[in-house]
Structure 1
Amino acid sequence: MAKAIWNGVVIAESNNCEVVEGNQYFPPDSVKKEYFRNSDTHTTCGWKGVASYYTLEVGGEVNKDAAWYYPSPLPAAQKIQGYIAFWRGVKVEV
């Protein structure tokens, strides 16, 4: 089971992640939404499309834009639509 951990708390875990470019993308229902805040940040990938971000807040600590997802990916990335990946110090254990 893959787990995403930040600030000592498991913020996502699943047996049904998708791996793309070495990143574990967690299904939307596997994340603990109470730790996620919407962000206005967006980036664009040439083959996946426009990414949206979440800021994490755990135990009073904030990790800006530490999670991203593709709400409407391009056709080549449809399997990760809505799935969430992590960076910026979030530890992902597989």
Structure 2
Amino acid sequence: MRPVTPDAPGPGQESVWDYPRPPRVETSNETIEVWLGGVAVARTQASVRVLETSHPPSYYLPLDAFEPGVLRAVDGTSFCEWKGVATYYDLVTPSATASRAGWTYAQPTPGFEAIRDHVSIMPGLVEACLVDGEVVRAQEGGFYGGWITDRVVGPFKGIPGSRGW
């Protein structure tokens, strides 16, 4: 039983309540950009989306999508029940630093190999993330890294009262 009533998707939209659990991994040819300090620090048309029930997509960009010197590895890890152990990056430009804004899975669990050598970005910690020119809205709650665009409808995990979803 779903804890909420899903929003009805319109034409060209996806409901995050139709995403599977465990999550699905799929490639994307959308143009993905990450901006920090007035600079495009990453750009690609070869990303990977991770789609999980109640979560907006998380986009993973290949390492070579990032400008040289932008990613600075930092201490600390976290654990995802699906993807395994994550390590973190600061994003750094001459005028700005986004602490622990990026993460990667060096040894993802079986089924998630497509995100190896890819980095996801927490949209709320950088100047902007864009999908095909649309500015992404950050998933609420400060813990999840979902990218909300007009393409997806919720409600989304992270809002007040969603802890048990």
TM-score normalized with structure 1 length: 0.91
Q: Counterparts of 1:15-94 in structure 2 under 5 Å?
A: 15-21=45-51, 22-87=57-122, 88-90=124-126, 91-94=128-131
Deviation at 1:42, TM superposition (A): 0.7
- Greater RCO structure (CA 8 Å; 6+ sep): 1
The size of the alignment, in residue pairs, is 94
Unaligned residue ranges in structure 2 (runs of 5+)? 1-30, 52-56, 132-165
Alignment partners' CA distance in 1, 2:87 and 2:79: 9
By percentage of residues, which structure has more strand?
1
More helix by share: 1
State the distance in 2 between where 1:24 and 1:52 align: 16
Q: Using the aligned pairs only, state the percent identity.
A: 28
1:10 and 2:40 aligned: yes
Q: Which amino acid aligns with 1:12?
A: A
Q: TM-score scaled by structure 2?
A: 0.54
Q: Would you say the 8 A contact 2:103–2:120 is kept in 1?
A: yes
Larger Rg computed on CA atoms: 2
| 1:21-79 deviation line (CA, Å, top 9, x unaligned) | 31111011111131111111211000100001111121242221110011100002111
- Runs of at least 5 residues in structure 1 that lack an aligned partner in the other structure: none
